[in-house]
Amino acid sequence: MSEMQELLVTADSGTSVDHTDLWRLCVAPMIDVTDRHCRYFHRLLAPRARLYTEMITTGALLHGDARRHLDFDPAEHPVAIQLGGSEPDALSRSAKLAERWGYDEVNLNCGCPSPRVQRGAFGACLMLEPQRVAQGVKAMQDAVSIPVTVKHRLGIDYNEEYGFVRDFVGLLVETGVRVFIVHARNAVLDGLSPRENREIPPLRYDVAARLRQDFPDAMFVLNGGIAQPDQAVSIDDGFDGVMLGRAAWHTPGVLSDIHRIFWPHDAVPTDDDVVEAMVTYAHEQVAQGVPLRFISRALLGFASGRKGARQWRRTLSDASALNRNDPALIRQAWDAVTAQNP
């Protein structure tokens, strides 16, 4: 593990921290979900979780409104940017921009199977071009000092041969990648929608575990199908971290549940404190011109499992109420939930 011990990061306090713990609990990059408001909410729920942006294409950063894509609250640290792209120069320039903005990690998307992403020649289809991925990764590594990581699938279409993903990971390990986020399913590029690709290809945790055994100097974070604290705990014994996706969106309280198990001595805000913090945050954002609906949508799953959850979602989705841009709506909706859950 000598190479791993060299992977140190400097915390805000100025102390050096072994970062083998920093990927233990991660929230997946999710398009149209993990925007900066959602990440702020998730940070409240899990103070040590590693947060990821939505996938941001290199074209959007280099030719669009970079500030709109890159801005984040300092409270989000540690926060990583996930890039979608395949051209080394564009990836290099985008990585530099991300580092300058203050991100803690650059992650390359080699797992998204959507047709739109395929048309851009990135995402899961990049696994079919490992040399191209290695070139892009090398360009980013040469450009920045923060970790460059890769999120990938186990295979493409119906090829379940272990050698395919082993060789893909092996080449990137040779290139210098030391953190891999493994969505433990294949990506079917033709015939399945992105949602179906999250549900139909079978989970193969055993294959992901084999990668960890074969590449002991790299870290492997497991993604796919993790929705309950007991799952996270059992997986924690065999991997370097877990990454939650849709569970963090639909039942965000699970992040706090897992955090309390992983770091039992850390303080985690109560649900009431989280709501008050989000009301305060919403006041700040609305004052800057952000519509309340952009903030409230991150909260829709927060009352999941409680009486009144449906009314909570209905209230925070009510267009006429949201158009008043009064953050007190969040507190009012929460008061209605707590009244039914004494």
Question: Contact at 8 Å (CB) between 184 and 211?
Answer: no
**Candidates 26, 38, 110, 112; catalytic one:** 112
Q: In degrees rounded to 5, what are phi and psi of residue 215? A: -130, 75
38 is catalytic: no
Catalytic residues, which ones? 112
